[in-house]
Amino acid sequence: MDIQLGAMLHVYKGEWGLPTIDFECLRALCLLRFTRCPMDVETNANPLRSGAGKLPYLQIGNDKFVGYSQIKRVLDLEGYPIDAHLNTKQKHLSATYANWVFTNLHAYYHYFLYGEPFNFDKTTRGLYAKRTPFPFNFYYPSTYQREACDVVQVMASFDVNDKLDKHESDYLVLNAKKCVNLLSRKLGRKVWFFGDTYSEFDAIVYSYLAIIFKITLPNNPLQNHIKGSQNLVNFINRITKDIFRNEGFSSIKPTKTANGTDVNVTHSEHKFLESECSTKIIAGVGALLAMGAFAAWRGIYNQLTTRSSTDYDGIDYDDDDAEEGLD
Amino acid sequence: MPSVLLSQLATANKLSVEPWPEDATLYQPYEVEQILLPENASCLAVKAYLKMCNLPFDVRTCANAEHMSPGGRMTKLPFIRAGAFIFAEFEPIVNFVEQKEMAIGNLQDEDEKADMRTYVSLVENIFTMAELYISFKNERVYKEVTAPRNGSVYPWPMNHMQNYGKRRNALRLLKVYQWNDLDIENVIEKVAKCCETLEYKLKESPDTPFFYGEQPCELDAIAFGHLFSILTTTLPNMALAQTVQKFKHLVEFCRFIDDKYFQTSFVPC
């Protein structure tokens, strides 16, 4: 199989200037862009088509590779391994630290994005629903919630479905803060964690922290903590600006300068905006039709016409009869 | 109710001034009939750590150790009762011992310590997941070893219920750590990679038997616990043991730790 021909990575559309809103998607995108793999990215994707009900997936011809680990294996085989430029010690350390960051931030990410009921209802569900076509938008966001339930149960040993005051999230926050402190110290003033070359560790740290840092959740205690570590903020902003220059997307910018000649909007973003507009029109027409059909079914049109004519006739004849009688 | 995990951290801080209690007891399932591979590995790791720290402790085996445990992230075993406090699993126990300043491996600088902690977390995750995978996802191992052993302490209808619950929990754990859709080759690849990392680390200091210099540390304890359990447990599918056996330095390391802490200086309390 040739990766250059028609390979396409399907991810969720971004927000807040990030290329995507989902951690797994962002991780896969990092693999692609760090290694400069020439592959197209499709942001108008349907999770149903992946076969596993989740994004990201990579399609090459008829073959589908779902999830980060499968995509990584394909890229490794095709000659775009992410840790290629590291020495042996750094390669081992990269895998070790990547695993450690996963242990410390995975539960935090899942709890505060999908598990915390207010956050999920106010922000996250909407984010995912907007990026999933109708009618799947009613179903797929809640699959993330169910997955988060398992993650929190295993890694933080409490149940998301319990009452809110039984959620023992302090431990998650404490662990995540400790992890961020160590990451900040380890990054120091370097460009990447291992000096001048990128690694899988950079990809995973960026993916977690960028989303946690940029997302606008009602309750997100780690966001301010990350703000306190200036080098991590710079790290996030630099990668967002330099590497995802063309893919960063924010829904607020285009509506502010909506004059039709927006140069920043790429083709797929245009399609996204247009499809949103056409959805509104279709919904309006559909609502009108439905109301009209309901009215016809209840026989309102018949009633209106028949009643008015009989009323009119009745009064006239009555009056006429009365007048005739008097005469 | 405050979080169990958080309160473990808090009590570990409070207790730092008091000495190591005389009656510290380690609880674990029956070693001969009941214990499963992942639990055996974590119990052995904790025992090795306490022996390395030269702390006295009593081992108590009971059938319902898992259900007595206050909870943890992986196997929930073993747990230790020290004075009025209970800590479960390797990391909380290590944190507790460290607060008492009786711990080993205090000599390293901060960066080395951070590196070492990440190695510990890698070893714990990869090996525990691989052990759970082989115990619960491999049909033959599950039917011939895991289910009979786990159910052995319960009477007839209970053993099936316990097995069902235990397997469901194990599969959920594998799913959360994203191991559920791997096949056995991927698992072996991951274990081999982790062994490679360990062997590389071990070779960095070739003239000392431990991972970090002359003194043992947490990494030695947890690596020994998992590697030794994998090497010495007989299962219908020996894929894991065969993978570990390819790394001669690690096998040598296990033999050394076993001789030093478990054979010669073993004094039953």
Residue B94 and residue A35: Cα distance in Å, rounded?
39
Q: Based on the fold, state whether residues A86 and A38 are members of the same structural domain.
A: yes
User: What range defines the domain where residue A306 resides?
Assistant: 267-326
pLDDT in tens, A288-315: 999 999 988 888 777 776 655 555 555 5
Torsion of CA A209, A211, A217, A223, to 10 degrees: 20
Residue B268 falls inside a structural domain: no
Q: What percent of chain B has pLDDT over 90?
A: 54
Chain A residues 28-87 with CB within 8 Å of chain B: 67, 69
Q: Based on the fold, state whether residues A156 and A271 are members of the same structural domain.
A: no
Q: Based on the fold, state whether residues A240 and A276 are members of the same structural domain.
A: no
Dmax (CA) of chain A: 119
pLDDT in tens, A52-101: 888 888 888 888 888 888 888 888 888 888 888 888 889 999 999 999 99
Mean local confidence (pLDDT), A132-159: 88
Report pLDDT for A41.
87
Q: Are strands B25-28 and A57-60 parallel, antiparallel or unpaired?
A: unpaired
**A and B: number of Cβ contacts within 8 A:** 73
Report pLDDT for A48.
85
Query: Would you give the distance in Å from CA A1 to the centre of its chain?
Result: 30
Residue A256 falls inside a structural domain: no
The type of residue at B45 is A
The answer, yes or no, to whether residue B92 has pLDDT greater than 50, is yes
Decide if A156 and B5 are in contact by the 8 Å CB cutoff: yes
Q: Based on the fold, state whether residues B86 and B123 are members of the same structural domain.
A: no
CATH label of the domain that carries residue A99:
1.20.1050
- Final residue in a domain of this structure, among A204, A219, A250: A250
Q: Based on the fold, state whether residues A232 and A272 are members of the same structural domain.
A: no
Residue B190 falls inside a structural domain: yes
Q: Based on the fold, state whether residues B120 and B153 are members of the same structural domain.
A: yes
Q: Based on the fold, state whether residues A15 and A153 are members of the same structural domain.
A: yes
Query: Tokens 């070359």, residue?
Result: A197
Residue A259 falls inside a structural domain: no
Residue A1 falls inside a structural domain: no
| Domain count of the fold of chain A | 2
The pTM (predicted TM-score) of the whole model is 0.82
Tokens of B147: 């289910």
Q: Based on the fold, state whether residues B114 and B218 are members of the same structural domain.
A: yes
- Final residue in a domain of this structure, among A250, A284, A312: A250
- Final residue in a domain of this structure, among A219, A250, A281: A250
CA distance A100 to chain B (A): 5
Report pLDDT for A3.
56
Q: Based on the fold, state whether residues A197 and A294 are members of the same structural domain.
A: no
User: What range defines the domain where residue B53 resides?
Assistant: 4-99
Query: Confidence band (pLDDT; 50, 70, 90) for A255?
Result: very low
CB contacts, 8 Å: B71 with chain A: 157
By CA distance, what is A88's nearest residue in B?
B200
Query: Cβ distance A240 to A17 under 8 Å?
Result: yes
Residue B122 and residue A99: Cα distance in Å, rounded?
6
Across chain A, mean pLDDT equals 83
Query: Confidence band (pLDDT; 50, 70, 90) for A243?
Result: confident
CA distance B195 to chain A (A): 11
The answer, yes or no, to whether residue B206 has pLDDT greater than 70, is yes
- Final residue in a domain of this structure, among B99, B120, B151: B99
**More confident position, A273 or A78:** A78
Q: Based on the fold, state whether residues A284 and A139 are members of the same structural domain.
A: no
Q: Based on the fold, state whether residues B70 and B124 are members of the same structural domain.
A: no
Query: Would you give the distance in Å from CA B66 to the centre of its chain?
Result: 14
Decide if B173 and A95 are in contact by the 8 Å CB cutoff: no
pLDDT in tens, B225-266: 999 999 999 999 999 999 999 999 999 999 999 998 887 544
Residue B105 falls inside a structural domain: no
Residue B227 and residue B241: Cα distance in Å, rounded?
8
Residue B79 falls inside a structural domain: yes
Q: Based on the fold, state whether residues B94 and B115 are members of the same structural domain.
A: no
CB contacts, 8 Å: B115 with chain A: 93, 96
Q: Based on the fold, state whether residues A246 and A280 are members of the same structural domain.
A: no
pLDDT in tens, A3-44: 556 788 889 888 888 888 899 999 999 988 888 888 888 888
Q: Based on the fold, state whether residues A144 and A288 are members of the same structural domain.
A: no
Q: Based on the fold, state whether residues A176 and A278 are members of the same structural domain.
A: no
Predicted complex ipTM exceeds 0.85: yes
| Domain count of the fold of chain B | 2
- CB count in 10 Å sphere of residue B258: 17
Q: Based on the fold, state whether residues A167 and A43 are members of the same structural domain.
A: yes
Q: Based on the fold, state whether residues A64 and A150 are members of the same structural domain.
A: yes
Residues of B at the A interface, defined by Cβ within 8 angstroms: 1-6, 9, 71-73, 110-111, 114-115, 117-119, 121-122, 125-126, 172-173, 175-176, 178, 181, 193, 196-197, 200-201, 204
